[in-house]
């Protein structure tokens, strides 16, 4: 079916047509959007459902919940829930949902979160070092930058950001914070800029703070553990025949998704790591995307955010 990409300043949904075509919400039943954001995917699912089922939209960001609740307020079969998808099993239990037919994870942050200066995600906009998706959480980017050891910082920048100058960046941060606490995004960005050579003429040029800021965001929000817990959680709960769609924007995220889907698509008898898990040890899934799917050239041209997107999809066999 054809879906038009809507121009929404909050966030342009990525791979919308593909998502809806895999989920087939017109079949009816219960669906979960684990990353509600601006409600772009949710809106399309609801329109396609045409009242034939229910959709729960989850986000850990209260602002996203408030905004999407307003945008989708006319749909009687939609409910927004504030929470982290790492907690998906408890969320499903507390809502007493018995059957789940499909689910989407569209990972990372929304364009709105990135563009809102005071959220502290951007190295271009002055703000306190925050980066929390959920403001009820205590840990902020400030805490990590000012309290973690040099080794811990370097590990975060290397493992989550693949920053080749991770050690130097960590060393300079620790040196600077001895003089004065590092409180703002631009203060941090200028320390990083001193560590990384800039060649603006290179066709591979990215701002020197890109990798460090991304790594920091992943650490603040514990994004990788959230992903593996959330994905395994939904795979315990979803119905046979149910479909799980994941769109990721980072190689580490994609690796987690690929491994979980690949492991569950092999014979239950040879899946060592799920042997002690009552439900996952018996689960068998079919990969509907043997190779990762990426957005069309047309979509990538229209929406720069889509350029790093990778989609993987499974359906549950047993
Ligand atoms: C890329 S945006 C989703 C955009 C959405 N699909 C749309 O079309 O508008 C990702 C959203 O997921 C939320 N998010 C990220 N990690 C989360 C987690 N572990 N639990 C709940 N929400 C999360 C972010 O707060 C953000 O609003």
Same domain for 205 and 235, yes or no, is no
The predicted-structure confidence for 251-303, as pLDDT tens digits, reads as follows 999 999 999 999 999 888 889 889 999 999 999 999 999 899 999 999 999 99
Question: What percent of the chain lies above the pLDDT cut of 90?
Answer: 89
Give the per-residue pLDDT at 8.
58
Q: Which of 131, 64, 104, 157 is nearest to 309 (CA)?
A: 104
Cα–Cα dist 224/228, whole Å: 6
Please tell me whether residues 34 and 76 are part of one structural domain: yes
The answer to whether position 23 is within a domain reads yes
Position 9 pLDDT exceeds 80: no
178 and 300 housed in the same domain: no
Residues of the chain above pLDDT 70, percent: 97
Ligand 1 contact, 59 CB (< 6 A) = yes
Does residue 99 sit in the same domain as residue 230?
yes
**Is residue 291, in this structure, part of any structural domain at all?**
yes
Query: Is residue 126 a part of any domain in this protein?
Result: no
Query: What is the model's pLDDT at position 199?
Result: 77
Q: Note whether residue 165 is domain-resident.
A: yes
- Do 110 and 35 form a contact (C-beta atoms < 8 A)? no
Residue identifier of the C-alpha nearest atom 14 of ligand 1: 35
Q: Are residues 163 and 233 in the same domain?
A: no
Order of all β-strands in the sheet with 243-248: 78-82, 53-59, 29-33, 102-106, 243-248, 310-316, 285-287
Check which CATH number belongs to the domain holding 209 and give it: 1.10.150.170
Of 120, 1, 10, 124, the residue nearest 59 (C-alpha): 10
Answer whether residue 7 is part of any domain: no
Task: Please indicate whether residue 200 or residue 11 has the higher confidence score (pLDDT).
Answer: 11
Nearest-CA residue for atom 5 of ligand 1:
37
Q: Which of 89-93, 188-192, 304-308 has the lowest mean pLDDT?
A: 304-308
Report the atom number in ligand 1 closest to the C-alpha of 64: 27
Query: What stretches of the chain show up as alpha helix (H) in DSSP?
Result: 16-23, 40-49, 62-71, 88-95, 111-115, 141-147, 150-161, 166-179, 185-195, 210-220, 223-237, 251-264, 297-302
* 151 belongs to a structural domain: yes
Backbone angles phi, psi at 94, to 5 degrees: -70, -25
On whether both 203 and 228 belong to a single domain, the answer is: no
Same domain, 55 and 190: no
What residue's CA is closest to ligand 1, atom 22? Answer: 59
For atom 4 of ligand 1, the residue with the nearest CA is: 37
Instruction: Determine how many CB atoms are found less than 10 A away from the CB of residue 306.
Output: 21
Residue pointed to by tokens 């990778």: 310
Pick the atom of ligand 1 nearest to 39's CA: 9
Q: Can you give the pLDDT at residue 5?
A: 42
Q: What is the length of the chain? A: 318
- Is 11 or 168 the better-scoring residue by pLDDT? 168
**Of residues 148 and 268, more confidently modeled:** 148
Residue 318's CB is within 10 A of a number of other CB atoms, namely 10
Which atom of ligand 1 is least distant from the CA of 40?
A: 8
Distance CA(146)–CA(10), nearest Å, equals 31
* Whole-number pLDDT of residue 1: 44
Q: Are residues 237 and 96 part of one domain?
A: yes
Number of domains in the chain: 2
How many C-alpha atoms does 97 have within 13 Å on its Cβ side?
23
Regarding the beta carbon of 256 and ligand 1, being less than 6 Å apart is answered no
Contact 203, 218 (CB under 8 A): no
- Note whether 107 and 67 are same-domain residues: yes
Mutate to test the pocket of ligand 1, among 8, 20, 35 (most ligand atoms within 8 A of CB): 35
Both 188 and 153 in a single domain?
A: yes
- Distance between CA atoms of 29 and 307, rounded to whole angstroms? 32
Among 174, 201, 220, the domain-final residue is: 220
Q: Which two tokens stand for residue 103?
A: 């689910």
Which ligand 1 atom is at minimum distance from the Cα of 35? 12
pLDDT for position 308: 95
Instruction: Flag whether pLDDT at 197 surpasses 90.
Output: no
Each residue of 41-69: pLDDT tens digit? Answer: 999 999 999 999 999 999 999 999 999 99
Question: What band does 3 get if pLDDT is binned at 50, 70 and 90?
Answer: very low
Measured by CA distance, the residue closest to atom 15 of ligand 1 is 108
Q: Which domain holds residue 301?
A: 16-112+223-316
CA 133 to chain centre: 11
Task: Please indicate, yes or no, if residue 273 is contained in any of the structural domains.
Answer: yes
The answer to whether residue 274 is domain-embedded is yes
Q: Whose CA is nearest to atom 24 of ligand 1?
A: 109
Please state, in angstroms and rounded to a whole number, the distance separating the CA atoms of residues 31 and 55: 5
Question: Model confidence over 203-250: pLDDT tens digits?
Answer: 778 899 999 999 999 999 999 999 999 999 999 999 999 999 999 999
- Distance (Å) from CA 69 to ligand 1 centroid: 14
Cβ 25 under 6 angstroms from ligand 1 = no
User: Among the three residues 189, 220, 251, which one is the final residue of a domain in this structure?
Assistant: 220
Domain-ending residue, one of 197, 220, 243 = 220
Is the CB of residue 57 below 6 angstroms from any atom belonging to ligand 1? no
> pTM for the full model?
0.95
Ligand 1 pocket check: which of 3, 36, 112 to mutate, most ligand atoms within 8 Å of Cβ? 36
């Amino acid at each position: 079916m054809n879906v038009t990409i809507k121009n929404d300043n909050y966030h342009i949904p990525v791979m919308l047509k593909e998502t809806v075509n895999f989920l087939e919400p017109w079949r009816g039943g219960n669906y979960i959007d684990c990353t509600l954001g601006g409600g772009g995917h949710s809106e399309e699912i609801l329109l396609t459902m045409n009242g034939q089922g229910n959709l729960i939209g989850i986000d850990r960001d209260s602002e996203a919940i408030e905004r999407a609740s307003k945008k989708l307020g006319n749909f009687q079969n939609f409910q927004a829930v504030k929470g982290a998808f790492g907690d998906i099993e408890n969320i499903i239990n507390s809502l007493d949902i018995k059957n789940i037919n499909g689910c989407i994870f569209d990972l990372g942050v929304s364009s709105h979160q990135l563009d809102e200066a005071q959220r502290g995600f951007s190295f271009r906009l002055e703000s306190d070092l925050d980066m929390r998706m959920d403001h009820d959480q205590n840990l902020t980017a400030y805490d990590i930058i000012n309290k973690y050891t040099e080794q811990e910082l370097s590990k975060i920048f290397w493992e989550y950001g693949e920053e080749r100058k991770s050690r130097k960046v960590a060393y300079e941060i620790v040196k600077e914070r001895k003089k004065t606490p590092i409180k703002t995004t631009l203060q941090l960005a200028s320390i990083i800029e001193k560590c990384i050579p800039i060649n603006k003429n290179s066709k591979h040029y990215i701002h020197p703070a890109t990798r460090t800021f991304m790594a920091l965001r992943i650490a603040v929000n514990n994004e990788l553990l959230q992903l593996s817990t959330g994905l395994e959680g939904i795979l315990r709960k979803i119905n046979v025949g149910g479909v799980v769609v994941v769109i990721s924007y980072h190689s580490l995220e994609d690796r987690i998704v690929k491994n979980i889907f690949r492991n569950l698509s092999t014979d239950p008898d040879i899946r060592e790591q799920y042997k002690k898990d009552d439900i996952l040890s018996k689960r068998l899934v079919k990969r509907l995307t043997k190779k990762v799917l990426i957005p069309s050239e047309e979509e990538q041209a229209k929406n720069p955010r889509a350029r790093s997107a990778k989609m993987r999809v499974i359906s549950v066999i047993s």
